[in-house]
Amino acid sequence: MSKGSAADMVQKTIIDDAKAEAKRIVDEAEVAGRQRTEEALENARTNLTGWADRRRQMAQDSGDRILGKAQNDAHMKILEAKAKIIDGAFVHARKQFEKERSQARYKTFLKNLIINAGTQIGGGDIVVLARKEDQALVSKMTGLATTISKAAGQSAKVSVGKTPMDLIGGVFVQNKEGNITVDYRIDTLLGQVGTQKRNEIAKALFGEEAKTE
Amino acid sequence: MSKVLTDIQKSEAEAEKIIEEARAKAEQIQRQAEREARETEPKVRQELTEEIALIQKDVESKAKTKARQIISKAEKEAATLEEASAKNMKKTVDLIVSGVYEYGGAS
């Protein structure tokens, strides 16, 4: 081996070793860098898991809210439609009463209402308030005071209020002082029927129980 | 002999330079990795936000379509109720009128 060649070999070895060391340094840095990136990604995913899950759930919930509101609105539409139809039946019933005034059963009905009311008041001076068309009818009724007296256990006197009431039928009955009253106006009774027979009415109309609230 | 030494010293200097450059590059790689690490969470958050926004848009779109179907079905049902109840109206009115007459004991 020549002298020059030996020196060259030493020089080459120095450079090769340096390059190997340089490669090791860079390789290690790259491995560490990749690890750092992976760790950062893993940490970010861990840190954001709860947040992302809540946001995903909120996204799903927004769909559920839309559907819930639609179902509620749909339910309300059906209920409103039923309520409207039931109201319509009461409008028809009210009109029916306007036609009933001349019928015998209406007269009997009116008489019974007065007797019931007079009995509830407990006899005494009973004043019957009625619509103009019924005032004469009530005036002509016989046996009212006697029946009320018997039922109430106290003598009774029945008179018709002079001022006619603005109503479609029925009576508003009170004692002389006006502090005890019984409201048997048709509109009031229709309201009571609407409350008490709501399910029956719905069943008659729709073949099912009422769900109008 | 002195030339050999000089050459070797030159090689050592060059080797030192190679290693220094490698260290500088390693530091650069490390700084780059640190910068990317700092940016990772905001980047992941942004990606998730976009992904969830798409999910929400899809969920809402499907829900709105279904909601329209639900409302449409209810409207049809309401119309059907109206038609079906018309044939029962007379007996219902009779029921109401009878109910009122019951207050006078004459239904």
Average pLDDT over residues B5-27: 95
In this structure, are A11 and A88 located in the same domain?
yes
- Which among A168, A189, A200, A211 is the top mutation candidate for probing chain B, defined by the most B β-carbons within 10 Å of its own β-carbon? A189
In this structure, are A130 and A117 located in the same domain?
yes
If residue B95 lies in a helix (H) or strand (E), which one and from where to where? helix B89-102
- What pLDDT is recorded for position A32? 96
* Nearest residue in B to A56, CA atom: B52
C-alpha–C-alpha distance, residues B81 and B98, integer Å: 24
| A212 within some domain | no
Local confidence band at A213 (pLDDT 50, 70, 90 cut-offs): very low
CATH number of the domain that A150 lies in?
Answer: 3.30.2320.30
- The tally of domains found in chain A comes to 2
In this structure, are A167 and A121 located in the same domain?
yes
A71-75, A208-212, B71-75, B91-95, range with the lowest pLDDT: A208-212
A11-15, A25-29, A102-106, B62-66, range with the lowest pLDDT: A102-106
| A110 within some domain | yes
Parallel/antiparallel/unpaired status of strands A156-160 and A124-130: parallel
* Residue A49 buriedness (CB in 10 A; 0-12 / 13-18 / 19+): exposed
- What pLDDT is recorded for position B26? 97
pLDDT tens per residue across span A114-142: 999 999 999 999 999 999 989 999 999 99
In this structure, are A105 and A165 located in the same domain?
yes
- What pLDDT is recorded for position B107? 39
Q: Read off φ and ψ for residue A142, nearest 5 degrees.
A: -110, 150
Chain B window 30-89: which residues touch A at a Cβ cutoff of 8 Å?
Answer: 30, 32-34, 36-38, 40-41, 43-45, 48-49, 52, 55-56, 59-60, 62-64, 66-68, 70-71, 73-75, 77-79, 81-82, 84-85, 88-89
In this structure, are A5 and A70 located in the same domain?
yes
Q: Which DSSP state fits A164?
A: P
Closest in B38, B43, B74 to A77, CB measured: B74
Cα dihedral value B44, B48, B49, B52, nearest 10: 180
In this structure, are A116 and A173 located in the same domain?
yes
- What pLDDT is recorded for position A208? 66
- What pLDDT is recorded for position A210? 52
In this structure, are A85 and A4 located in the same domain?
yes
Instruction: Kindly determine whether residue A92 and residue B52, on different chains, have CB atoms separated by under 8 Å.
Output: no
Domain boundary residue, one of A47, A68, A100: A100
Given a contact cutoff of 8 angstroms between Cβ atoms, the answer to whether A171 and A135 are in contact is: no
Rounded mean pLDDT of chain A? 91
- What pLDDT is recorded for position B87? 92
Given a contact cutoff of 8 angstroms between Cβ atoms, the answer to whether A99 and B99 are in contact is: no
Rounded mean pLDDT of chain B? 93
- What pLDDT is recorded for position A187? 93
Q: Strands, DSSP E only, in chain A?
A: 124-130, 156-160, 170-175, 181-185
ipTM of the shown complex: 0.75
In this structure, are A8 and A85 located in the same domain?
yes
| A149 within some domain | yes
Domain boundary residue, one of A69, A84, A100: A100
* Nearest residue in B to A40, CA atom: B37
Which domain range does residue A91 map to?
Answer: 1-100
In this structure, are A91 and A105 located in the same domain?
no
Q: What residues of chain A lie within 8 A of the CB of B16, using their CB?
A: 18
Nearest-neighbour CA in chain A from B37: distance (Å): 5
| A207 within some domain | no
Q: A52 is written with which tokens?
A: 């992302």
The answer to whether residue B35 scores a pLDDT higher than 80 is yes
Instruction: Kindly determine whether residue A197 and residue B32, on different chains, have CB atoms separated by under 8 Å.
Output: no
- What pLDDT is recorded for position B1? 63
| A211 within some domain | no
pLDDT over 90 percentage in chain B: 85
pLDDT tens per residue across span A150-200: 999 999 999 999 888 888 889 999 999 999 999 999 999 999 999 999 899
| A205 within some domain | no
pLDDT tens per residue across span A56-69: 999 999 999 999 99
In this structure, are A94 and A74 located in the same domain?
yes
Domain boundary residue, one of A69, A100, A131: A100
In this structure, are A125 and A62 located in the same domain?
no
Average pLDDT over residues B79-92: 92
In this structure, are A16 and A83 located in the same domain?
yes
- What pLDDT is recorded for position A207? 83
Instruction: List b or e across A174-186, with b for residues whose CB sees 16 or more CB atoms inside 10 angstroms.
Output: bbeeeeeebbbbb
Number of Cβ pairs closer than 8 Å across A and B?
223
Q: Residue B14 in 3-state DSSP?
A: helix
